[in-house]
Structure 1
Amino acid sequence: MAKSDHDLTDAQWAALTAAWGGCAYCGASEPQSRLQKDCMLPISRGGRYTLTNVVPACRSCNASKCNAEVTTWMRRKKLDEQAFLVRQLEIARSATDGSEVRLTGIGR
């Protein structure tokens, strides 16, 4: 892990947790301090802690996903993969261009 470039700042993490408003996967409302950083592409598979690869996850989803790639895991759990990916793209785009995220409730 030390050999990889991880550039997610505390401010970016705070923005991500605020934009998602809970667990990115199941929508559980968790206090921001209890959400965990989950890499959609796990570090063990080449992922990094970056703005476009990290989402907030509740402990249950993070443990269940383990080191699986996000779409594979979501299909296995029968979660709404398309809604998640659309929402993740919307949040990542707005975070990288500095605009405010529209909280549309996609996937909730």
Structure 2
Amino acid sequence: MPESIEQQLEQLQKNYLAKLELDLQALKRYYQQLADPAVENKKTTALISLQQLVHKLSGSGGCFGFPDISTCSEPLDTYLLALINNNEQCQTEGISKLITPLFAAIQQALKK
């Protein structure tokens, strides 16, 4: 018997949440790399990787029923993209202010 649309959507959301746990770990890893002076040569790569992941979360959160993830991701995505496009020095203080609410939104979603 075919699954109902609701069951399919529920499964998609479960799959998203499973991936979200990995995304949270990656976000934390990239952020730590940006804050660590010992890995200065990897900061550009970490910044770009962080921006790409945040951009993905900005678009996907609301689609899977977690609008707070999208809402918290959007300003961080904009900030990171400006740093990259303007070739600016990475400011972990600015990133910290914007990434903390995103961490909270993801952790809240993972409690479901």
Same fold (TM over 0.5): no
Q: TM-score range by the shorter chain?
A: 0.3 to 0.5
TM-score by length of 2: 0.34
The structure where helix makes up a greater share of residues is: 2
TM-score by length of 1: 0.35
The structure where strand makes up a greater share of residues is: 1
